[in-house]
Structure 1
Amino acid sequence: MAKRINNESAIGDILNEIIKANKLETGLNQVSVSDAWKNLMGNGVNNYTKNVLLKNHTLYVELTSAVLREELSYGKDKIIKMINEELGKEIVKDVVLR
């Protein structure tokens, strides 16, 4: 049972309590990372992106272009830094391009 929150709590605090109590954080992180990928990479990369999945702080990105996969593999550290900055916390620690 969730703890009772007094009537003067901020809505953000209440939402955070609900997220923690229902263990929704991993699902919300998955959605946030997927949206960040789409926003940061733009249409050129998104046209070749098939699937984006976050699992255990590792971002798995499935691409349909081998040339693009090779090109992005050189900038993995930059991709990790950009996504984490976009989200405001360190969620992604590694990127796997397939």
Structure 2
Amino acid sequence: MKKPNSPENSRQADIVPLKDSIKALLKAYRLQGKLNEVTVVASWEKVMGKAVALKTKEIYVSNSKLFVRLTSAPLKHELVMAKTRVLELINAEVGETVVKEVVFL
């Protein structure tokens, strides 16, 4: 029979799931915001589709604004008309409000 204060039992108390540890690390170093911005840029093709991604020249996030440079004027016009829907899709992909405005260049 093991004692309640044995080293094996105290180790069990220190075990934390990896997911929780990573969240704590991101919070401690204040990296969660930047990670969300990178996730937005990385998931652009997944959210908007291959056709839009092929006509996207540059994409970046600055001050909660998503800047997208496109090579097609008709596509730019189409996306400007659907700006709120694009904003909803992108924030839904990340799971929180990272982008407050989308600017098509």
* TM-score tier (shorter): 0.7 to 0.9
**How many percent identity over aligned positions?**
35
Structure of greater Rg: 2
Question: Which residue of 86, 93, 103 maps to 1:96?
Answer: 103
Aligned residues: 93
1:46-65 pair list within 5 angstroms = 46-65=53-72
Q: In 2, Cα distance between the equivalents of 1:89 and 1:30?
A: 11
3-state DSSP class of the match of 1:86?
Answer: helix
Map residues 8-87 of structure 1 onto 2, 5 A cutoff.
8-87=15-94
TM-score, normalised on structure 2? 0.79
Partner secondary structure for residue 23 of structure 1: coil
Two-structure CA RMSD over aligned residues (Å): 1.5
CA distance in 2 between counterparts of 1:77 and 1:69 reads 14
Kept in 1: contact 2:37–2:98 (CA 8 A): no
TM-score by length of 1: 0.84
